[in-house]
Each structure stands twice: as structure tokens, then as C-alpha cells.
């Protein structure tokens, strides 16, 4: 069965991709792009280093513009990121029977609640799968065993999360200071390939 994994190049989405592969799904790793900035490149590199098929899914710019408006109003990313992620799942659910993401047990965002999951599964006739059965300690240990991981400060070139395109929009509209305040740089773990 064909399955789509929303993919950022990080440990969580890499691990849910591995689980799908091992369970026998025919997987495609998907990174959304809203036409603001080519932030999908690091994810495409990680996918390729693992030998997984990767596609960029071009989505409407209005989605990221709406999210950016929410985030500037809130001065906080959570609601806007959740909004984008729900739209992303809804978009890919038109093309796949199984859709998955790397949401883990201790994630706050992006995260669908039970009624949102029921809704998308019923409306779109899809199965939604995530990493909710796994905590961060388990994911760290598994990814240590499975993957070569690069720890580094995030920047605009090495990260494929939704926040990169949002930062670009905030930069354009409100300047870099606000973008940096809402999305401070942080250390990220990027998957660089299978453990040798």
C-alpha cells in the first residue's frame, strides 16, 4: 500500500519513515513548499541519503500567509504551525491512502487531537499514522542506532521545517528582528544517512 510521510529530514520523521518501510508500505517522503523559499532542500538530501523516494508538494502560498498572520498576532508559533500542519495533512490526503508524520508522544505541536484525526480519516478516507507510541528518549536511542545524525545550529539553509518559509515572510513584512524573536535559532538534529 502506498503511504506518504510528511518529511523534514529530522529524527522523528525519518524514524516513522523507517517503520513504514519495515511494515511493507510503498513510501514516498513529502516535503511541502509554499513558493516562498526553497526550504525543502535539506529534507530532500536527508531522504536521498537514506535511499527513500522524496517529492516536493507545491502548496498554495495563501496557507503560509494565513499561518504567518496568526503567528504575528499571537507573537508565538504554535497555533500557526498547527494550522499549516493540518492543511498539509489535508492536502496530501487527497493523493494517498495512508498519511503519516513524525509527531511523537511528547510533542506539543504540531499535533492533531483525536477529533481532528477522526475527521480527516473519515472525510478523506485515509489512515493517519504517527509516532505517538514513542517518547523522545526512545527516539533518541533508536536514531543513534540507525542514523548518522548531524547536530547543528538551525539556519535558513539547513532546515526544512515550516518555520523557514514563515521566517522569510516575517522578514519581508516585519523585518528580521521579529522573525528572530518568534523563531530563535536552536540546535537541531539532521539525519545524514544510515549508521555505518
Q: Closest CB to its own copies among 7 and 134? A: 134
Instruction: Tell the residue number behind the cell numbers 472525510, with chain if given.
Output: 123
Q: Which residues contact 36 (CB under 8 A, 6 or more apart)?
A: 61, 64, 165, 168, 169
Residue 193 is a binding residue for its own copies (CB under 8 A) = no
**Is 92 among the residues that bind its own copies (CB under 8 A)?**
no
138, with CB counted inside 10 A (0-12, 13-18, 19+), is middle
Q: Does 120 bind its own copies (CB under 8 A)?
A: no
Q: Peptide bond before 160: cis, by omega within 30 degrees of 0?
A: no
Task: Indicate which single residue of 55, 121, 156, 158 sits in contact with its own copies (rule: CB under 8 A).
Answer: 121
For residues 123 to 142, the per-residue mask of contacts with its own copies, x marking binding by CB under 8 A and - elsewhere, is ----xxxxxxxxx-xx--xx
Query: Which residues are within 8 A (CB) of 73 and not within 5 positions of it... i.e. 6 or more apart?
Result: none
Q: Which residues bind its own copies (CB under 8 A)?
A: 1, 16, 18-19, 22-24, 98, 103, 105, 114, 117, 121, 127-135, 137-138, 141-142, 145-146
Amino acid at each position: 500500500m502506498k503511504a506518504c510521510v510528511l518529511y523534514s529530514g529530522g529524527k522523528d520523521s525519518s524514524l516513522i519513515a523507517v517503520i513504514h518501510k519495515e511494515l511493507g508500505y510503498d513510501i514516498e517522503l513529502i516535503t511541502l513548499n509554499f513558493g516562498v523559499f526553497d526550504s525543502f532542500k535539506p529534507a530532500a538530501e536527508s531522504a536521498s541519503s537514506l535511499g527513500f523516494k522524496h517529492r516536493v508538494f507545491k502548496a498554495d502560498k495563501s496557507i503560509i500567509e494565513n499561518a504567518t498572520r496568526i503567528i504575528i498576532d499571537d507573537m508565538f508559533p504554535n497555533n500557526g504551525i498547527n494550522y499549516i500542519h493540518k492543511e498539509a495533512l489535508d492536502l496530501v490526503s487527497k493523493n494517498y491512502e495512508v498519511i503519516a508524520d513524525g509527531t511523537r508522544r511528547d510533542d506539543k505541536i504540531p499535533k492533531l487531537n483525536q477529533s481532528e484525526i477522526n475527521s480527516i480519516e473519515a472525510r478523506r478516507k485515509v489512515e493517519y499514522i504517527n509516532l505517538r507510541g514513542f517518547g523522545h528518549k526512545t527516539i533518541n536511542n533508536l536514531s543513534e542506532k540507525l542514523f548518522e545524525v548531524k547536530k547543528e545550529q538551525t539556519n535558513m539553509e539547513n532546515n526544512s521545517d515550516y518555520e523557514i518559509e514563515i521566517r522569510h515572510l516575517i522578514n519581508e513584512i516585519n523585518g528580521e528582528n521579529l522573525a528572530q524573536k518568534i523563531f530563535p535559532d536552536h540546535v537541531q538534529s539532521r539525519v545524514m544517512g544510515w549508521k555505518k
